[in-house]
């Protein structure tokens, strides 16, 4: 149910200049959405592409963004071996949601000023602003140098994340395009297809495995920022409008239990009631049982639901 208080709009953040578009972000968003639409053409449909897309939602979205960027790097809700953490971070980079340091800095600022004027992406400004508009309009308050100094110093102490602020980021993204295309093309050639058919299949794998998957992960992540601050129920009284939204929790593998998360940000487990399924936490639990995750933070039992 939409809270009546949400009918009062929130002002744009102080550093926003609506006359200035962040063109690299705007062009990237447009490019990915346009290319993803080619998946609707029969010539580029393949069940292999669909399967890779679905698998990619978990590998890149759940492990890369939810587990690594969010629960591990931003909130330090668990600790993994560096080789595994960096692997998951590469998966997150392939989602094109900016560098780990910038993602962490934006999210930490969001928690500090959630649903206040200083919040970079509160949907109380407008649904579209909270969902994606905040990325394509310049906001000097979240310029890299300023926001890194306050919110991401610990991330940039790791040389790997420091390197991702440079050309390595683009190399990983473009390299993933090449890997998906060549994998599809080679697989087709090995099964006896012609070069023309192999090129078509490789393009299909690229469109579905990279562009469709990335666009879906984008909107899933953005739905946490928008829908889960507008619709749903609250287990805890918080100073913001965060909500537990079952639909977002379903598509975002547990990230939609957002009121729980805002009440206890460090917890690696976002589902606090028996029916609040959190598949990202299930992945954390599996890693813990395998000895690949330690110091897992769980909900404080003294905070009652």
Instruction: Write out pLDDT tens, residues 116-127.
Output: 999 999 999 999
Number of domains in the chain: 1
- pLDDT reading at 3 higher than 70: no
For residue 305, tell me if it sits in a domain.
no
Range of the domain at 56: 21-289
For residue 105, tell me if it sits in a domain.
yes
Interval 128-153: pLDDT, tens: 999 999 999 999 888 777 789 999 99
Strand partners, 243: none
Q: Are 255 and 243 in contact (CB under 8 A)?
A: no
For residue 111, tell me if it sits in a domain.
yes
Q: Are 268 and 296 in contact (CB under 8 A)?
A: yes
For residue 212, tell me if it sits in a domain.
yes
For residue 5, tell me if it sits in a domain.
no
For residue 194, tell me if it sits in a domain.
yes
Compute the C-alpha angle 85/89/29, nearest 5°. Answer: 165
- pLDDT reading at 2 higher than 60: no
For residue 294, tell me if it sits in a domain.
no
Question: What pLDDT score does 1 carry?
Answer: 41
- pLDDT reading at 10 higher than 50: yes
Rounded CA gap, 73 and 234, in Å? 26
- pLDDT reading at 218 higher than 80: yes
- pLDDT reading at 9 higher than 80: no
Inter-CA distances, 99 with 6, 175, 231, 234, Å: 32, 16, 29, 31
For residue 192, tell me if it sits in a domain.
yes
Q: Are 229 and 124 in contact (CB under 8 A)?
A: yes
- pLDDT reading at 4 higher than 60: no
C-beta contacts of 145-151 below 8 A and 24+ residues apart: 147/102, 147/105, 147/106, 147/109, 148/101, 148/102, 148/105, 150/105, 150/109, 151/104, 151/105, 151/106, 151/108, 151/109
Q: Are 260 and 298 in contact (CB under 8 A)?
A: no
Interval 154-196: pLDDT, tens: 999 999 999 999 999 999 999 999 999 999 999 999 999 999 9
């Amino acid at each position: 149910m939409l809270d009546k208080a949400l009918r009062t709009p929130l002002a744009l953040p102080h550093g926003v200049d609506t006359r200035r578009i962040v063109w690299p972000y705007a062009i990237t968003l447009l490019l990915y959405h346009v290319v993803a639409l080619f998946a609707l053409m029969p010539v580029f449909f393949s069940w292999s592409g669909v399967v890779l897309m679905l698998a990619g939602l978990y590998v890149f979205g759940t492990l890369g963004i939810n587990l690594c960027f969010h629960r591990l790097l931003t909130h330090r809700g668990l600790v993994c071996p560096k080789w595994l953490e960096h692997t998951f971070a590469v998966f997150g980079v392939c989602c094109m949601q900016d560098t780990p340091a910038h993602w962490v800095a934006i999210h930490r600022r969001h928690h500090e000023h959630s649903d206040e004027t200083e919040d970079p992406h509160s949907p109380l400004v407008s649904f579209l602003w909270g969902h994606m508009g905040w990325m394509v309009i310049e906001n000097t308050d979240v310029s890299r140098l300023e926001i890194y100094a306050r919110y991401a110093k610990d991330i940039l102490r790791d040389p790997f994340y420091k390197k991702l602020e440079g050309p390595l980021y683009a190399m990983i993204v473009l390299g993933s395009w090449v890997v998906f295309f060549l994998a599809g093309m080679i697989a087709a050639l090995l099964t006896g297809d012609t070069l023309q058919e192999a090129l078509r299949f490789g393009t299909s794998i690229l469109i579905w495995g990279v562009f469709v998957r990335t666009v879906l992960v984008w909107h899933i992540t953005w739905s946490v920022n928008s829908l889960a601050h507008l619709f749903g129920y609250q287990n805890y009284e918080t100073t913001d409008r965060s909500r537990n939204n079952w639909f977002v929790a379903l598509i975002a593998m547990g990230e939609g239990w957002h009121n729980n998360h805002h009440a206890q940000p460090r917890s690696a487990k976002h589902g606090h009631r028996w029916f609040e399924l959190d598949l990202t936490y299930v992945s954390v639990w599996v890693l813990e049982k395998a000895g690949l995750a330690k110091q897992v933070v769980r909900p404080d039992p003294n905070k009652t639901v």
